[in-house]
Amino acid sequence: MMRRRNNPGKDPFYLLEVFTKPEINSEEMRTYIISKTGMNPTIHDSGTHYAFNNKLTLEFLKELSDLKDVIAVYGDYMGAVTGVGASHDHREHEHGWINGWIKEE
């Protein structure tokens, strides 16, 4: 969030990756992401890993992480809307390698 502090008038673009519990309805999560961001996420790992570009605010980060079926949220700064694709593994948070945000249970 240093980028936001250095330029408070501009929300930076991030590649966001959201990891969910396996029992989530992936179509409902996809629809939720589209309704909130206007972006269609790519879906990986049997519907438990969603990747999309979006402007990141603390409010949106909190909203995502507060969803009951979300396990972890990762973000990589992109600067602008670009297509890099998913880059994190769902096992990262299990082994303590996380470079993003983990939801406490």
pLDDT at residue 97 greater than cutoff 70: no
Instruction: Classify residue 93: in a domain, yes or no.
Output: no
Confidence at residue 76, expressed as pLDDT on a 0 to 100 scale: 85
- Helix (H, G, I), strand (E, B), or coil: what is residue 42? strand
| 59 CB-near residues (< 8 Å, 6+ apart) | none
Residue 40 lies in a domain: yes
Question: Is the pTM value of this prediction over 0.75?
Answer: no
CATH number at residue 6: 3.30.70.920
pLDDT in tens, 40-76: 999 999 999 999 999 888 889 899 999 999 999 988 8
In 3D space, the residue among 21, 88, 27, 82 whose CA is nearest the CA of residue 54 turns out to be 82
Q: Evaluate if residue 25 carries a pLDDT over 90.
A: yes
Number of domains in the chain: 1
Q: What is the mean pLDDT of the chain?
A: 79
For residue range 1-10, list pLDDT tens digits in order: 565 667 667 7
Give the separation between CA 2 and CA 39, rounded to whole angstroms.
24
Domain that holds residue 74: 2-81
Asked whether residue 94 is domain-assigned, the answer is no
